[in-house]
Chain A
């Protein structure tokens, strides 16, 4: 599924909050159709890194290229770029005053100025795929966490993004709802969507990732295939990190 075409390229990204450096000199190349999972201890900058990729955070140094074109750092240019970069957050971020359908239609209609007919058709296809078309007229407060998160994914997909960013999307879900969200993401991966995923679900990471990137102390400690990372990690730090998730008698 992974093509040779480079979709997103990050070069020497540096970010700090005040005196605290979150990461420096972070570089990453993402090819079309590739699924990258970012793992690492809390506070290692995974989420901040994702947020830099669609302009929700400023960064001090470095460059981000999408489709070979550099994204100028100013806020203005991000409005354009964000249409091509979908993002789903940890908190259920649906707009509570809009129905499911209005949530999904907002971006395509108001930002992309597409016709309602066309967007509605697409929204229906996507909602049917996640099994929530019959909830289209509900308000977010009437939905479960898992349902909200699936809708949030649909909302991002309806913009026809080239790449999707997932920021710990299952972290605040009840355990029994995690699966339904992960299944949607797995299906997306199979369909060839380019994705960068931050997650603590290691089994899911193993199943979905083409490449795993282990971040710690503001840098990439290890970059490996999913299979090798979880069975025979190259670095000591990655081993230690993975041990946390293994209960041993």
Chain B
């Protein structure tokens, strides 16, 4: 039981929370870029132009097929070697997660848009709406409602996957957890259980509100009959 107290020893708690902040900073920025990028990419994916379509497909599949870890290595280590550009590990993480999020989000947006009935589009055009107005007032507001459950799923996945950035040397919550465990390996041999448990709890209190908010929004929209 004493091992549990390791979390509160010295500066451990502040350090763990500081690590969480790093994880969240990466996740938050990446999610933000992904939401904006994903909407644009999703609209682009619905283009009728074959060249645009093929390019989008190539981007999506290459992001999907290659594991995020490999992308992290490419951006952090290989960029430096090949182009002599040094990217800060945290920045590299944000770039990689944004690219991944944009691709996945884009595919969700594409699906949500193309699942809307064609006559929604046509009745918008029949009112004289331009394409941009059509997306702004008719297509996107409806797509967002269909998009919400899978998008929230993606966001929580992105938050959790940030733990990979340890491997390019970003000191985030998981890394600090490991450090805490290593330091106290003799004084508190069972610390690992409690520290990882605490980290689990931290991830949970970050992701849970996101899910709650999604549920609330879904109910709210359902009450509006959409």
Q: How many A-B residue pairs have CB under 8 A?
A: 72
B145 CB, min distance to chain A CBs, angstroms = 7
Minimum distance in angstroms from B223 CB to a CB of chain A: 10
A145 to chain B, nearest CB (A): 14
Segment with Cβ contacts to B, from A22-30, A89-97, A186-194: A89-97
Q: Are B122 and A89 in contact (CB under 8 A)?
A: yes
Cβ of A54 within 8 Å of any chain B Cβ, yes or no, is: yes
* Closest-CB distance, B115 to chain A (whole angstroms): 13
User: Please, which residues of chain B bring their CB within 8 A of the CB of A80?
Assistant: 128
Q: Are A56 and B125 also in contact (CB < 8 A) when A96-B226, A139-B225, A141-B226 are? A: yes
Which residues of B in the span 193-226 have a Cβ within 8 Å of any Cβ on A?
A: 221, 224-226
User: Which residues, 78 to 129 on A, are CB-close (under 8 Å) to B?
Assistant: 78-80, 82-83, 86-87, 89, 91, 93-97, 106-107, 110-112
Tell me if B133 counts as interface (CB < 8 A to partner A): yes
The residue of chain A having its C-beta at the shortest distance from the C-beta of B117 within the complex is A91
With an 8 A cutoff between CB atoms, is A208 at the interface?
Answer: no
Chain B nearest CB from A46 CB (Å) reads 16
Q: In the complex the two chains form, is B225's CB within 8 Å of A156's CB? A: no
- Interface residue? B47 (CB, 8 A): no
Task: List A contacts of B129 (CB < 8 A).
Answer: 79, 106-107, 110-111
Query: Residue A150 at the B interface, CB < 8 A?
Result: no
Contact partners of A83 in chain B: CB under 8 A: 128
A107 to B125, CA, bound (A): 10
Asked whether B142 lies within 8 Å of A97 as measured between CB atoms, the reply is yes
**Contact between chains at A110 and B133 (CB < 8 Å):** yes
Query: CA of A150 to CA of B26 in the docked complex: distance in angstroms?
Result: 51
Chain A: CB-nearest residue to B145: A97
* Chain B CB within 8 A of A198 CB: no
Contact B120 A139 (CB under 8 A): no
Check B226 against A106 for contact (C-beta < 8 Å). no
Q: In whole angstroms, how far apart are the Cα atoms of A83 and B126 in the complex? A: 8
A110 to B128, CA, bound (A): 9
Closest Cβ–Cβ distance, residue A222 to chain B (whole Å): 29
**CB under 8 Å from chain A, chain B span 74-132:** 117, 119-120, 122-130
Report chain B residues within 8 Å CB of A86: 126
CB pair A95 B133 closer than 8 Å: no
Please name all residues of chain B whose beta carbon is closer than 8 Å to the beta carbon of A97 when the two chains form the complex: 141-142, 145, 221, 224, 226
Which A residues form the contact surface with B (CB < 8 A)?
Answer: 54-56, 78-80, 82-83, 86-87, 89, 91, 93-97, 106-107, 110-112, 139-142, 152, 155-156, 159
Q: Could you show 15 A-B contacts with beta carbons less than 8 Å apart? A: A54-B126, A80-B128, A82-B126, A82-B127, A89-B122, A89-B126, A93-B119, A95-B137, A95-B138, A95-B142, A97-B221, A97-B226, A106-B137, A110-B129, A139-B224
